[in-house]
Amino acid sequence: MIPKKHIIDRFISYVTIDTESDPNSDTTPSSEKQWDLANKLVEELKSIGLEDVTIDENAYIMATLPSNVVHDVPTIGFISHFDTTPDFTGANVNPQIIENYDGKDITLNKEKNIILSPDYFEDLKLYKGQTLITTDGTTLLGADDKAGIAEIISAMEYLIQHPEMKHGKIRVGFTPDEEIGRGAHKFDVDKFGAEWAYTMDGSQIGELEYENFNAAGAVVTVKGKIVHPGYAKGKMINSMYIAQDFINSLPRLETPEHTSDREGFFHLHNISGDVEETTLQYIIRDHNKEHFEARKEVMIKLTEELNTQYGKNTITIDIKDQYYNMREKVEPVMHIVDIAEDAMRELGITPIIKPIRGGTDGSQLSYKGLPCPNIFAGGHNFHGRYEYVPVESMIKAVEVIVKITELTAKR
């Protein structure tokens, strides 16, 4: 459909621009450097021939491919985000292209002895003989979600170049700050004007998802007292030890490394502190809404119990909901999932319909009135040095986008 080199070059031009978001910032976008890619995307959308290309004061990008049929067709959209996670550095990304992957270990960084091995990452075995794009072992890659952006733009370019492909009006949207849970916060659904959309933000080829976690973030602050350690008896209160009690009091096996499928978890992702004050940052996740609420209550009750032991207000907790399970909003319009599933099957792709162990912009957008299932973008091992994406999966994602527009125009 599209030349392999074309989508490789497009993708690499995106991932070599640092767009790491910043959870400690109150601005949108949360980091100034996200504008670098956002402005580039605006110019690229214009250059391929899309209409109504706009970028607002918060870096939300929208564009239109007009309908080329005379009958009424629902307006649909495709959405991806251009920020990368703050969990691992996305600066100075140096992609490596592995042609005709032989199914063996890939040396990402010889000097540091960083190996991407199918013995540990078994999904690699699915892509023997294909072209892989990997990191150099020192950064993430950014396929989450710059692969999705490359796929959407490539699909729109293909449709413009092939007017014989019949489709209705298509809207394109690119967002900042998805990785810190704010990607859809300032997304103008009315301005976007689609009846439904798809986020191109999934992982391996075939993924099609319309369930995700209910999500919250929790900041636990523990107060202590510092005095000279030589005279500390009965006076010093070490906040780090109390924080350790809090950590150990949560269910040890209800963490990401011990859960799968629809099992929820508590995830401690950051600790900072000293004797006087320690801060714990958690995320709380569960597909079941009742279990989600119960998890928040567990943390609140634990705070109260430890304050009884250590003194009032020794520990404070601030919990904020981030997004909810989109299933409730998608199930009444399941035909939009059916179209995506049919598109995959017609292209010889086996749909993998499963819950997302995470979230996408689509979860928040669905609650804002834009039902938004999630489709694979092709990458694996997101948010770390072992991230990679098969180019053939990206090309298939482009084909799925085009096929969805075709099937929508026929219904």
Write the DSSP assignment of 185-197 as a string of letters: TT--HHHH--SEE
Q: At what angle do helices 391-410 and 335-346 cross, to 10 degrees?
A: 120
Catalytic residue flag (residue 178): yes
pLDDT band (50, 70, 90) for residue 359? confident
The pLDDT value recorded for residue 49 is 97
Name the nearest CA neighbour of 61 among 34, 28, 32, 39: 39
The pLDDT value recorded for residue 371 is 97
**Arithmetic mean of pLDDT, 281-286:** 96
Two tokens, residue 13: 């031009």
Residues sharing a CB contact under 8 Å with residue 147, sequence separation 6 or more, in sequence order: 11, 200, 377, 378, 379, 389, 394, 397
pLDDT tens-digit readout, 155-175: 999 999 999 999 999 999 999
Task: Sheet with 214-223: list strands edge to edge.
Answer: 265-273, 277-286, 214-223, 315-323
The pLDDT value recorded for residue 83 is 97
Catalytic residue flag (residue 83): yes
Question: pLDDT over 90 for what percent of the chain?
Answer: 94
Residue 140 above 90 pLDDT?
Answer: yes
H helices within 311-360, ranges in order? 327-330, 335-346
Residue 358 above 90 pLDDT?
Answer: no
Residue 400 above 80 pLDDT?
Answer: yes
Q: Are strands 106-109 and 214-223 parallel, antiparallel or unpaired?
A: unpaired
pLDDT band (50, 70, 90) for residue 322? confident
Which one of the listed residues 20, 145, 177, 178 is annotated catalytic?
A: 178
- Find how far residue 61's CA is from the centre of its chain: 17
**Arithmetic mean of pLDDT, 25-44:** 98
Residue 287 above 90 pLDDT?
Answer: yes
Which one of the listed residues 83, 136, 179, 201 is annotated catalytic?
A: 83
d(CA 394, CA 354): 20
Question: pLDDT over 70 for what percent of the chain?
Answer: 100
d(CA 206, CA 215): 25
The pLDDT value recorded for residue 356 is 87
Residue 411 above 90 pLDDT?
Answer: no
pLDDT band (50, 70, 90) for residue 345? very high
H helices within 105-262, ranges in order? 143-161, 189-192, 239-249
The pLDDT value recorded for residue 303 is 98
Q: Are strands 352-353 and 277-286 parallel, antiparallel or unpaired?
A: unpaired
Residues sharing a CB contact under 8 Å with residue 312, sequence separation 6 or more, in sequence order: none
Task: Sheet with 132-134: list strands edge to edge.
Answer: 96-98, 132-134, 388-390
The pLDDT value recorded for residue 357 is 86
Q: Which residues of 334-344 are buried (b: 16+ CB within 10 A; e: fewer)?
A: eebbebbbbbb
